Amino acid sequence: MAPNPGPYTGPGTNTWIVDAGPVVAVIDPGPDDDAHLDALDKRLAGKTVAVVLVTHGHPDHLPLAVRFAAPHHASVQRYPELRDGEIVRAGALNLTALYTPGHSADHLCFLIAEDRAVFTGDLILGQGSSMVTYPEGDVAAYLHSLDRLASLEPQILFPGHWDPVTEAMAKIDEYRRHRLEREAQVLAEVRRGAGTPTDLTRRVYGDLDDRLMVAAEMTLRAHLRKLVDDGVVRERGEVYEASVAPTYRRKQIWDWLARGATTFEAMVDVPKALRGALDTAFRATSLRPIAVSEADRGLTTKTLFELDGGHSVEAVVMRYADRSTLCISSQAGCPIGCPFCATGKFPFGRNLKAHEIVEQAVDAARVLAEEGRRLSHVVFMGMGEPMANYHAVVDSVRRLADPDLLGISPRRIVVSTSGLIPRITQLGEEKIPVTLAISLHAARDELRDVLVPINRKYPVRDLVDTAQAYADRTGRRVSYEWVMLAGVNESERDARELGALLKGKLAHVNLIPFNPVEDTPYRAPDRASIRAFKDMIEAQGLNVTVRDTRGREADAACGQLHERVMRSRQTAGV
């Protein structure tokens, strides 16, 4: 046990040495502490350390791992490199990694199947309760992880803190009941009266030491997030209040919104009293269209919506003979800062909430229904980095796919990312078969570091390996997006590097002619250059298409309509 006792670590962090002979696995080396390192080395004298496993990246579990492993020449394995279901072998030992998010987004447990023994990290402790705190903690994911653990029917649990648990199933049930009871307590308090998280924390927990009060509020915020996602609590800025409609009525209201209703009064099968209460408390939609532009003889429509708080986002509807596609935004602005993107030119605003993402689709479905069309495809390629707003994006995908709501097949939903590797891995474990698109644009790090700055944190080869792991797990081909920039990324060298990078991968390359953006040095190549680049890639055995250049006169590149409208407002002094 590491010498790090405290209010959140109990007597200290358990470092588990798992052996079946001279070869051992070590789980959670703990904090970077010299005395603990010396104690481990003495305990392991004469043993061979095959692997160091880490349940999650918190500072009481991870920091010593690399320093401890180095002299033993042992590998350090943790999420996301170590994937769900992967078996780690150490001599005669077989340990199965179990992805169990909730306490943290990167949490793993380790199962020895033949002994029905699980090393639980901080999913379950020997005493007390595990912390599930906002923003990293996810109560819904935590409950799902407990259910998964229970399905294994373990006999003994080895937690990250305190003693082993021999009544494993009873302990899992205790933890589940505790979390649900806390959720019910939070909901009951919200129903007694609206309040901020700080107000509600005092009402739920009573008087606490200041340090514990901070942790209690973060726990309560995590519960509030789940209650908001469940539709039983409404968030109004920093104030949380109870929803006014029961679950079955919310289904009716969703049906009306999906059919294009813009007022509660139009929902004639909802009781009049409830319609009045809804009209007093809410708006039927929270997005307000403030500008619309059309192109391609009306086949492409871009709408700029204003959000609560004054930020704005764009959505683009593209009509084809066999489908209708919506390009949807997930953030107001974008934190990635790609220099060729119009969205990256103005300050990042905020993440969109799941309902704000879905409302873009509801509006598109309404417009298309008036034309006798149906919204069939959604691509998360509008403003923002979807993986930087992960929970809201995944929640919105589930709502878009819900057959009782819009009923869009997940296979017709594309989620794009500039390359947030941990979130790509997490998406692969959600069991929603969306298509993953990678905003690649360069196949070598020195160029991609400039075009896509997140590459400095997540290098291109690591990104492509992670995307291929997603393809292996889901069976879905990955789309690699390549904005064509004249004199920048369309040379023979670029084509060769792209071919080598994607060789043998389940991949499709999508070449995108650059949409001109003011005040940038970039321009689009001519058609002959695009065709030549496409031919060079195809010659290496890759599947390639050139994207239809829709909406050039509709400001259809990300952020262009927003930029034009904001500029005109400034000129007018608005």
Annotated active-site positions, please? 314, 558
Quick one: DSSP state of residue 487?
A: T
Q: What share of the chain is helix, strand, coil (3-state, %, to 5)?
A: 40, 20, 40
Distance of alpha carbon 526 from the chain centroid: 37
Neighbours of 292 (CB within 10 A): 12
**With contact defined as beta carbons under 8 Å apart, do 413 and 434 qualify?**
yes
How far apart CA 246 and CA 279 sit, in angstroms, is 16
Distances (CA, A) of 240 to 31, 141, 220: 37, 22, 11
Which DSSP letter does residue 345 get? G
Are 115 and 129 spatial neighbours (Cβ–Cβ below 8 Å)? Answer: no
Beta bridge partners of 96: 87, 111
Q: What is the largest CA-CA distance in the chain?
A: 78
Closest among 346, 311, 316 to 329, alpha carbons compared: 316
Quote the CA–CA distance of 113 and 124 in Å, as a whole number. 18
CA separation for the pair 54, 49 (Å, rounded): 14
- Order across the sheet with 16-19: list the strands: 16-19, 23-27, 48-53, 75-77
Which residue is associated with the tokens 């997030």?
A: 225
Give the bridge partners for 319, in sequence order. Answer: 324
| Distance of alpha carbon 132 from alpha carbon 117, whole angstroms | 23
Q: Crossing angle, helix 168-192 and helix 210-229, to 10 degrees? A: 80
d(CA 379, CA 345): 22
What's the Cα-to-Cα distance from 125 to each of 174, 249, 281, rounded to whole Å?
Answer: 11, 40, 42
Task: Name which of 519, 524, 528, 518 is nearest 549 in CA terms.
Answer: 524
Instruction: Answer yes or no: are the C-beta atoms of 315 and 360 closer than 8 Å.
Output: yes
